[in-house]
Structure 1
Amino acid sequence: MILVTGASGQLGRLVIHSLLEKTDASHIIAAVRNPDSVKDLAEKGVQVRHADYAQPDTLVSAFAGVEKLLLISSSEVGQRTPQHTNVINAAKEAGVSLIAYTSILQAVSSPLALAAEHIETEKRLAESDVPYVLLRNGWYSENYTANIGMALEHGAVLGSAGEGKFSTASRVDYAEAAAVVLTSDNQAGKVYELAGDNAFTLTEYASAISKESGTTVVYQNLPETEYAQVLTQVGLPEGLATILANSDIGASKGGLFNDSKTLSTLIGRPTTSIEDSIKAAL
């Protein structure tokens, strides 16, 4: 049995769909806070169980009979370490044979503030005695393409990354990689640095939007604090805005660049190009 936490989320749902192409639905469990949110998966034969990272009592029962578990990192930045620890402890108690964890690219050396909770989770995994594999995911292309409408409206992509390079891939790419690992043998102890095949700067990203849309879009580089202020002005919580601005600074230092092509090797095909992701968003 393979269990996917956060199965109603953007990545989790895609992992389930990829798993359905590789194994029978009866071998897949979708763990979610709200079972009603994945009725479509239940209709495909996927077993649905209630599980909440913040409620340890729900986790041990949800993990009963599970051989492999995908721990998708919590979306609640600042609460990730205790929530992930709850999952790891419950997996150990339930006798799970393998935990796959979605960490961050080059976690140990990453200059991004976001890496701190991932590093702590990796430490908790190492201390747990539960076999584990690390899926250190790079940036999702959708982190940028989701905001193409705003870029077109204002004629600009904003950021603080300077000429830093982003080795992004689509969520589908990362989801497929997770499914490959979960359905393969001898994964314990492996660390996968996962990133897109072709990197780009935000200047190049803006140029690609211009080319695909026919509307001129330029990249405007801002100081970190100013970029964070802009993000709060468009409605993001202050904490999230600060983290995103810091992530751009981290990218300027190489934190989101990786040319190993580990991801494309794992999934057996080239990763989705930023141009194709832009076309899909348009």
Structure 2
Amino acid sequence: MTTIAVTGATGHLGRLAVLALLDRGVEPSSIVAAVRTPASAQDLADRGVQVREADYGRPETLQAALAGVDRLLLVSGNEVGRRASGHRNVIDAAKTAGVSLVAYTSILNAGDTTMKLAGEHQETEEALRASGVPFVLLRNGWYTENYTAALAPTLEHGALLGASTGEGRVAPAARQDYAEAAAVVLTGEGHEGQAYELAGDRALTLPELASVIADAAGQPVAYAPMAADEYAGVLAGAGVPAPMAEILADSDLGIDRGELVTDRDDLRRLIGRPTTPVEETIAAALPAAAA
């Protein structure tokens, strides 16, 4: 029986990936939820999923976490500046454990994007190539949830803020879509060596996104473009760590360069259905944002 591990399994994407594996009929005992704090995965343990401690920054936890694992979803970490080294620790542990396939959640257009956010993803992709471990790249585009996370202040001020000029386009998809794609790859065959460019079916400008939010909320919402440094300052003022605030502002400039869209339909093909419309994700997030 194939054993599949998911790192970061209590994070937003990792947890959805575990649930997607269960939905695809994978036996719970064949799934390893590799997490920094096992107690936070009690709900998964209650469903029969194996829960093991795995901290990217503590290599000694990774060997035990990956023992007996056949396939691994390496969900990228969230500690800016420390992600590449942590990912290398996981890759080294996977090699030692004899993992037969590592699926890594990279970033859309990682081969040529110049976004600051891409740097550590590009380092990780190179580490995978050098490792000799069989791998597949899940180059995830923007999550629609990147915007719904700030829906409350967007509605409060009637403004969607960003550093894009408003001319560039982004093709977001629901986090669930990306999780389902990962589950398809982990349970399927023929994916080794592939680099999937994953994004939503519809590309839209940030002014168009603001209009979608306005229609869903039934109130005026306009896109308010800002200079990148100004936008980074707003994000930092809202509690986003300064390094991440700068990266997010720079990512909006990547929208203008066309780096968060793709002409490939890899995501739709993998999940076997259209990607979740942004309208649906925004509508689902409205009650919490309005509370």
Please state which band the TM-score falls in when normalised by the shorter chain: over 0.9
User: Once the two structures are aligned, what percentage of the paired residues are identical?
Assistant: 56
- TM-score with structure 1 setting the length: 0.99
Q: How far apart in 2 are the matches of 1:165 and 1:259?
A: 12
User: Aligned partner of 1:187: which letter?
Assistant: H
RMSD over aligned CA atoms reads 0.7
Tell me the residue number matched to 2:182: 178
Tell me the residue number matched to 1:10: 12
Q: How far apart in 2 are the matches of 1:232 and 1:77?
A: 15
Tell me the residue number matched to 2:289: none
Tell me the residue number matched to 1:117: 120
Asked if the contact 1:209/1:217 (under 8 Å) is kept, the reply is yes
Asked if the contact 1:105/1:136 (under 8 Å) is kept, the reply is yes
Question: Which among 232, 235, 238 is matched to residue 231 of structure 1?
Answer: 235
Tell me the residue number matched to 1:213: 217
Q: State the Cα distance separating 1:228 from its structure 2 match.
A: 0.8
1:1-282 equivalences in 2 (<5 Å): 1-22=3-24, 23-162=26-165, 163-282=167-286
- TM-score with structure 2 setting the length: 0.96
Q: How far apart in 1 are the matches of 2:245 and 2:176?
A: 25
Q: State the Cα distance separating 1:58 from its structure 2 match.
A: 0.5
Q: What secondary structure, in the 3-state scheme, does the structure 2 residue paired with 1:226 have? A: helix
User: Aligned partner of 1:263: which letter?
Assistant: L
Count how many residue pairs are aligned between Structure 1 and Structure 2: 282
Q: State the Cα distance separating 1:186 from its structure 2 match.
A: 2.3
Q: How far apart in 2 are the matches of 1:97 and 1:179?
A: 16
Q: What secondary structure, in the 3-state scheme, does the structure 2 residue paired with 1:107 have? A: coil
Asked if the contact 1:139/1:167 (under 8 Å) is kept, the reply is yes
Q: What secondary structure, in the 3-state scheme, does the structure 1 residue paired with 2:116 have? A: coil
> Where do 5+ consecutive residues of structure 2 fail to align?
287-291
Q: How far apart in 1 are the matches of 2:117 and 2:244?
A: 10
Q: What secondary structure, in the 3-state scheme, does the structure 2 residue paired with 1:109 have? A: coil
User: Aligned partner of 2:62: which letter?
Assistant: L
